[in-house]
Amino acid sequence: MKNALRLLGVVAVMGLASVATADYTEAPVTNGGSVGGKVSFKGDQPPPAMFEFAKFPQPEFCAKADSDGKGHRIRQDVKVKNGGLADAVVYIEKIEKGKAFKFSGTDVVADNCRFLVQGGPSKAVGVIMRKTEFRVVNNDADPSDPKTIDGVLHNPHGYEVIGSGSKTIFNKPLAKKGTSVKEQIKPIFFKKENSFMKLECDQHNYMNVWFLPVSNPYYAIVGEDGTFSIGDVPAGKYVVKAWHPILGFQESTVEVAAGAKADANFEFAKK
C-alpha cells in the first residue's frame, strides 16, 4: 500500500439515467466479486476548525447551526469513530467495462450557512462526473432581518484542486431562497490524477464541501465507521484508491476472484 460538513464536502449521488463515457461501457457481470474493507485513522480525532461568526455576514442567523455557543462555527473536517474515518471515498481505477452506471448529477443545499451534500451517507463529501450537472440550491432566508427576508446571499465557488494549487470552475451568486446554480462539469477539468473539487461560499468561507470525480460506478462513500463495500466487480487485478479531502490519497492493489471478496484497508494519519 502506498501513502499517497457533517461539513466537509464526500458523497455519492443516485441517478436515474444511464451515463456512457469514452472510458467505460456497461456490460453484464457474471459471477462478479467484491472489494470491501475499512478506512481508518491512526490516533485521536484532531480538533475541529473554528470560525468566528462575527467576521462574516449574517452572524446571528448562521449561528443557529454547528455553533459552540460562544460565537464560533465548528467544522469537524476529520471525523473519527472507533478508529474509523468518515467522509472518505474508495474507488477502483480504470475499469473499462462492467455494471450499469446511473448518474443524474450532484446536488448540494445551502442550509443554515452550511453546504450539505445530498443523496449519500456523507453530508460533507460526494462525487461528480464530467459532462453531468452540478446543482446548488439556496435554502436560507432570515425573516427576522428585513435585508435577508427573501434570502441570505451565498456565493458558491467551485474549484478544481490539484496538489497545493486550484483553479476556478464556476463562481455564481445565490441571492434568494429557492434559487439555484446549475453547472455542467466540463471535460476540460479533472484530467490530472488525484484532482478533486472544492466548493466554498465566498460570503461565508467556512461553508466547504468536497467532491471526487469518477468515471465508473465502482466507488463507495464510507460509513461513519469507515467501512465500505463495492460489488459486482469483474474478476481481475485492480488499483483501489481511498480519498479524504483533508488527508489526501492512498492506494492498494487487489486481486478480485469470481464470486469472492477482496480486502482493501487503508490507514490515514494526521498530516
Residue 22 pLDDT? 55
Specify the pLDDT at position 2. Answer: 41
CA 26, CA 20: separation in Å to the nearest integer?
8
Q: Please tell us whether the domain made up of 2-269 is placed in CATH 3.30.540.10.
A: no
User: Burial level of 207, CB count in 10 A (0-12/13-18/19+)?
Assistant: buried
Q: Is the pLDDT of residue 269 over 50?
A: yes
- Residue 150 pLDDT: 98
- DSSP result, 111-128: -SS-EEE-SSS-SSEEEE
Q: How confident is the model over 203-237, as pLDDT tens digits?
A: 999 999 999 999 999 999 999 999 999 999 999 99
The three cell numbers of residue 89 are 471515498
State the CB neighbour count (10 A cutoff) for residue 54.
10
Contact predicate 34/231, CB 8 Å:
yes
The residue-averaged pLDDT of 175-204 equals 97
Q: What is the pLDDT of residue 128?
A: 98
Portion of the chain with pLDDT greater than 70, in percent: 92
Query: Which one-letter amino acid corresponds to residue 126?
Result: G
Give which of 84, 92, 158, 152 is closest to 122, Cα–Cα. 84
**Nearest alpha-carbon partner for 112 in 78, 86, 138:** 138
Tell me how far apart the alpha carbons of residues 220 and 211 are, in angstroms, rounded to a whole number: 13
Q: Nine-digit cell at 99?
A: 455494471
Whether the Cβ atoms of residue 242 and residue 92 lie closer than 8 Å to each other: no
Give kind and range of the element (H or E) at residue 148. Answer: none
Going from N- to C-terminal start, the domains of the chain cover 2-269
- Show the cell assigned to 258: 469470481
Q: Is residue 17's pLDDT more than 50?
A: no
Report, in this order, helix, strand and coil percent for the chain, each rounded to 5.
5, 45, 50
- pLDDT value at 25 more than 70: yes
Q: What is the mean pLDDT of the chain?
A: 92
pLDDT-derived band at 63 (thresholds 50, 70, 90) equals very high
C-beta separation of 199 from 172 below 8 A: no
pTM: 0.91
CB 257 within 8 A of CB 34: no
Q: Residue 84: pLDDT above 50?
A: yes
Nearest to 7 by CA among 80, 53, 73, 105: 73
> pLDDT tens across 104-127, in order?
999 999 999 999 999 999 999 999
Whether 19 shows a pLDDT value over 90: the answer reads no
